[in-house]
Structure 1
Amino acid sequence: MPDDLTKAGRPTPRSAFAEVAPGGLFERPGVIRLHDPGHRPKTLLRGRFTPEWLATAAGLLGIVPPEQPGAAARSPVAELLWLGPDEWLVLGSGPGSLAPALLRAGLAAAEVGDGLPDLELSGPRAREVLAGGTALDLHPAAFPAGRATRTRLGRIGVLLQRAEDGADGPVFRLHVERPWAGYLWSWLADAALDHPSNDESFPR
């Protein structure tokens, strides 16, 4: 590989779901839809909640870091998810790479990107499909839009994020460590087959 190959000239990383979903899409009409959104910048942060951290986040991301368990904050350039008392996940990159500025603010910062791929799950039975593999209470009153938490789904750990509802029901984003991406996609697709379709034109 040439030494002067620029970042822009490097090949796009292969999707973590390529083996099980070459087209990046699975749909069982009237039940669920799985979608691979492709590469999304992600930065994992760890550190103490300090005035410097607040100021840096406000300047770079335009948002105040959430302090409540499972809470999220969003701006036009990024989304910030609370993972623990001293841990957050930034979705989006803001104006360039975040890590250097965050390190200067006293945080440990690691750009995880394609090491933590995510998929989007939607559809009228999305909540029921998820409920078959997790003990987490997914009722809208307990897990409203904007909530994010770590949980187990099937045999693996995932970061489950509830997005705003779509036209055909709830929308979830599931973030998973890359080695388990294929398992997660296959588990969800298989689980969907156990649920009757709301689409009368689709076989039950």
Structure 2
Amino acid sequence: MKTRTGKNLLLTALVSSLILLGSGCSKKSIVPPESTTGGSTGGTLSYPPAENGAFSENNMPAEGTLDDTSGSSYLAEDTQTDEYKMAHGRTSPGLSPIYFDFDSASVRPDMVEPMLDNSQYLKQVPNSYVIVEGNTDERGTNEYNLALAERRAQNTRQYLIDLGISPNRIRTISYGEEKPLFDETNEEAYKFNRRADFVLE
């Protein structure tokens, strides 16, 4: 009886180990860098400190709910035309994405007008909250691109704050190169992948 129980325990342990090993496999291993801006990277939301307002660890959205945001265009992404994606990225209706130069996190002069329009829209819906999503093209390492996308999101957030939007209403997320709009490896695709999207919650 003891021998049989021992074999069953050994078999259970072996199967459990195999399951754990299998679940740990992934296509790309990403170790997010430390952020100097206080935000987090690698697909995690960056929240303002709890004492600044509405968001804290206690009232964060449930895990996995980000892509289900009603204002977001994620759900229809597979059916969108290339023209729609070029004009709107993954930004919620009523807002516009902004685009960045290669290896730059600065808001370009030609993106000032969309930023002004976005701030005006957010002022018209004062009870709304927005997530600024930073993205890059595929060039560079995963870690570098996560940090660059985080800087883009943080700079965009600060720009909105400078335009009069309360910091408590704006959160950031860095996707780096992980959520490209276009998979082609050319400058035409890259220029649309280097962007910040604005997703209403």
Do they fold alike, i.e. is TM over 0.5? no
Q: Which has the higher helix share?
A: 2
* TM-score (normalised: structure 1): 0.27
Q: Which has the higher strand share?
A: 1
* TM-score (normalised: structure 2): 0.28
- Please tell me whether Structure 1 or Structure 2 has the larger radius of gyration of its CA atoms: 2
